[in-house]
Amino acid sequence: MTVEDRFKRSYETHNAPWDIGTPDFNLIETVKRTPIQPCKALDIGCGTGDNVIWLAQQGFTVLGIDASAVAIGKAKEKASKANAKCSFLAGDVLAGEIEEAPFGFVFDRGLFHVLGSDRERKKLSQRVNCHLETGGLWLSLMGNADEQRQTPGPPQRTARDIVNAVEPYFEILSLLSGHFGYNRPDPPRAWICLMKKRQT
C-alpha cells in the first residue's frame, strides 16, 4: 500500500489521530511571536484544512495542498462552513510546479517526517525552496527521535536528519523541541523548525 493509499484509508475510516480539528498551537505561536506578516502562504500536506483556515482568518492568502482527495474534500467543507477565503488542491508537492508560487510562507505539519529517506527529504526541501520567494520562511513540525515511545505515533527524525535535508536550501532560524498540538493525552514530541530560504 502506498503512502497516499494509507492516508486515504485513514481519512475514510476516521482513523487519523493527527487530524485534531483545530489549528496546531505551534503554528499560531510561531506566526504571532516571529511575527510572520500576512502574505501568500502554502500549507503542504494540509489534511482537512484547519491550519489553512486559521491562516486565512489572519489575513494570509493561503493555498492548501494534500495528496489525499478525501482530505481535500473535507477541507473545502470546513472552509465553506467557516466562511474562510482560501483554496485547496489535491496533488503532490514533490511532483510539479504550483502555479500560485512564489509564496512568502510555507507550513507543513508532518509531511517532512513521513518521507522515509534522506533523498526524499532533500527533494522536499528543494521543492519548497523553489516555491518560496527570496527570504521566504518555512515552518515544519516533525516527529522527534529524542522521544522513547512505547505506543504508535508519528515517524521520528533526528536533528541530523533535518540538517542533512535542508542544507543548502535553507538557513535554520530555530529548531525547538516541543510537542504536536493534539486532542489526546500525552501528545507526541515534535521538532518545531523555522527556516529561511537561502540566497541563491
Is 53:23 a contact under the CB 8 Å cutoff?
yes
What per-residue string of b and e applies to 63-76 under the rule 16 or more CB within 10 Å gives b?
A: bbbbbbebbbebbb
Is 20:54 a contact under the CB 8 Å cutoff?
no
Could you tell me if residue 137 is left (phi over 0), alpha (psi between -120 and 50 degrees) or otherwise beta? beta
- As for how many domains the chain has, the answer is 1
The C-alpha cell at 196 is 529561511
Could you tell me if residue 83 is left (phi over 0), alpha (psi between -120 and 50 degrees) or otherwise beta? left
**Dist. CA 12–CA 162, nearest whole Å:** 31
**Dist. CA 193–CA 143, nearest whole Å:** 11
pLDDT of residue 19: 74
pTM (global) more than 0.85? yes
Amino acid, res. 154: P
**Dist. CA 140–CA 111, nearest whole Å:** 8
Output the domain CATH number for residue 29: 3.40.50.150
**Dist. CA 58–CA 99, nearest whole Å:** 23
Range of the domain at 97: 3-13+21-197
pLDDT tens digit sequence for 12-42? 555 566 677 899 999 999 999 999 999 999 9
Residue 41: helix, strand or coil by DSSP? strand
**Dist. CA 147–CA 134, nearest whole Å:** 35
Beta pairing partners, 157? 144
pLDDT of residue 1: 46
pLDDT of residue 48: 94
- Kindly give the parts of the chain with pLDDT less than 70: 1-18, 150, 200
**Dist. CA 180–CA 3, nearest whole Å:** 21
pLDDT of residue 96: 80
